Amino acid sequence: MKKAYFGLVFIAILFLSACSGAPESAEKETPSEAKAEKAVLTIHDMAGRTVTFDTLPKRIITLTNSDMNIVYALGGKVVGRQTQDASGVEPDEAKNATEVGNTHDLNLEKIAALAPDVIVASSEQNLKDVPALEAIGAKVILTGANSVDEIKTQTEVLGKLLSAEAKAKELNQMLTEKEEAIQTAQAGKSVRALMILGAPGSNYAALPTSLSGDTLRIAGGINVAENLKGVENFPQYAALNIEKIVAEDPEVIFLMIHGGDEKETEAAFRKEMEQNDAWNSTTAVKNGHVMVLPADLFGTNPGVRIDEALDYMTQKLNQVAK
């Protein structure tokens, strides 16, 4: 009898242990599940990365002017920004933010001193810098745009970061309407154009896959460099092949200056053209249609000011088409 009693007690203990252990196992969270549950904000950036925030970010550093002006257009502000270059600072309010270098030359000491919650950087140039930036205790969001549509995506990403999705949608709708209006007005027009990105010691032809090339397309231009091959580390731009370019005979040549002294770069390029019979044989040079585009709208991503770039490009192409 005692043996039977103790057997029943043993079985009951096993049963209770099994029942009490089941919920503990079922409720146990994996580290990723716990992190996702704790996050108040999740951002999928333009480098394909997923970034989570435990608290909403307040102190923002932007390493490009495009990200900076989009942040302000969305109602936000930055504590740190790119060191001023030829493209200037837009809007004026951002001039009070601390300069922290640029995408090629970060000042990690200044960045750390600002104690940022998030650093918005270039997907093409700063991916390698993410570990160093995260090491100072900040989250990193990577953006970038090689087309007008990608500027819209950039605006959406920053809109979510700032909890300003409605404003981002409004800005993108306005940009879409601008595109459609220009394309309607420019229908049937075609101007053969060459866009050159000029920098100290080097010149490249902008391809249709570049942001400036996309701006040219929307405004009604035909890119004479379309069939050139992009360079390995700069695929949206191609080395200048004067023979092929002359064969396409551009009606206008646009020079976009990036970095260095603008006047010095322009003078060097014009001198090269004057001394080269091939350049002098093009319709663009014969008619004096060699134009320098403003640095704050071309050569680098102008952010929300892309609407101004589209208007400017349309105006210049129409001057040539007369």
Nearest to 179 by CA among 210, 147, 208, 157: 147
Please tell us whether the domain made up of 35-178 is placed in CATH 3.30.200.20. Answer: no
Please say if the pLDDT value at position 15 is more than 80: no
What's the Cα-to-Cα distance from 303 to each of 53, 153, 158, 297, 300, rounded to whole Å? 25, 11, 11, 9, 9
pLDDT tens track for 234-272: 899 999 999 999 999 999 999 998 766 778 878 888 888
Please say if the pLDDT value at position 4 is more than 70: no
The backbone torsions φ and ψ at residue 125, rounded to the nearest 5 degrees and listed phi first, read: -110, -20
Question: 188-321: same fold as 35-178?
Answer: yes
Residue 189 DSSP one-character state = -
CATH of domain 188-321: 3.40.50.1980
Please say if the pLDDT value at position 33 is more than 90: no
pLDDT band at 22 (very low <50, low <70, confident <90, very high): very low
pLDDT tens track for 154-170: 999 999 999 999 999 99
In the predicted model, what is the mean pLDDT of the chain?
Answer: 88
What CA–CA distance (Å, rounded) separates 265 from 259?
A: 9
What CA–CA distance (Å, rounded) separates 35 from 63?
A: 28
Domain boundaries defined on the chain: 35-178, 188-321
